[in-house]
Amino acid sequence: MTSRLQRVGGPALFVLLWSTGFVGAKYGLPYAPPFLFLALRLAIAGVLLAVLAAALHSARMASRRQYGHAAVVGLLLHAGYLGGTFFGISRGIPAGVAAVIVSLQPVLTAVVAGRVLGERPTARQWLGLVLGVGGVALVVGPGVVGSGAPLPTSGVIGCLVALVSGTIGTVYQKRHGDGIPLVWGTAVQYAAATAALFVAALATEDLSIDWTPHFVAALVWLVLVLSIGAILLLLLLLRRGTAAGVSSLYYLVPPATAVEAWFLFGERVSGLSLVGIGVTAVGVAMVVVPPGRDRRAPGRVTNRG
């Protein structure tokens, strides 16, 4: 019972926490440019994690190689994925459209992981991945089609950068990150991402922030809940599961965001969107949950590295 609760509870908590990132972006981006906003967020989170690691006497990085791997993951998962997503939203991409673009990551991850990690999704898992794409399209499709407005090219490019960066970062973390101390490694990731985002902000943005209560609340939420809680949980899930299986959880983020938007902002969830939420949940279950008698992790990794 405990192991089953852990298998379900961890992913469910991750989806719940991660989906609130779009809410935080909606609150915070009107008051700060995207790269500066993220650099500030990750810098604060990195300092807090370093203090936490020192206080808990957490295992330290053992070699320059580990520092290098952690830095690469930081550039991909944080600077690339988050930076691309925030940039896209700041350029006028609706949050739902950004969510559906980056939620294509599970399929891309399954393809890349098959070549790099030796993970071989089963026919059932491939069907689950396809159902996930269909479910997400049902959730956000009516709003996208109904808007009628052309999407800004720069925003679409930003979301595509986020998609590719998140995919490569997930696979890279799965291949090279298992032996890296979790807390110190994440702090190093944030340090590398902060440096890259700050350089991007210096080159492209007006370095000014409107410190409104909305911005402060969004910043505190994104630092504590997303950059510390959700990211540590994501890295822990990657250690226990396959890259494709964990990545499939991103399918549930747009439906969860739609429900949160209805609850927090009164945004209506259509009947078709509710059907999409159900289809997405079934698809993710087919990828993540082991078949009845097979208690091994789904799509167990054959690590060739």
| pLDDT tens-place string over residues 93-118 | 776 667 767 777 777 777 676 666 66
Please say whether the beta carbons of 165 and 77 come within 8 A: yes
In which residue ranges of the chain is pLDDT below 70? 1-9, 95-97, 100, 111, 113-119, 121, 136, 139-151, 240, 242-245, 247-248, 250-251, 254, 258, 261, 264-270, 273-274, 277, 284-285, 287-305
What is the Cβ-side half-sphere exposure of residue 199, based on CA atoms within 13 angstroms? 7
* DSSP state for residue 80 in the 8-state scheme: I
pLDDT of residue 265: 61
Domain layout of the chain by residue ranges: 2-288
User: Distance between alpha carbon 17 and the CA centroid of its chain, in Å?
Assistant: 10
* DSSP state for residue 248 in the 8-state scheme: G
Determine how many CB atoms are found less than 10 A away from the CB of residue 141.
Answer: 17
How far, in Å, CA of 280 to CA of 134, rounded? 7
Structure token pair of residue 117: 């990690």
User: Which DSSP string do the residues of 116-165 spell out, in sequence order?
Assistant: HT-----HHHHHHHHHHHHHHHHHHHHHHHHH-PPPPHHHHHHHHHHHHH
Structure token pair of residue 291: 């078949």
Q: Which residue has the tokens 């090219």?
A: 153
- pTM for the full model? 0.72
List, in order, residues 6 or more apart from 204 with CB less than 8 Å away: 35
pLDDT of residue 305: 31
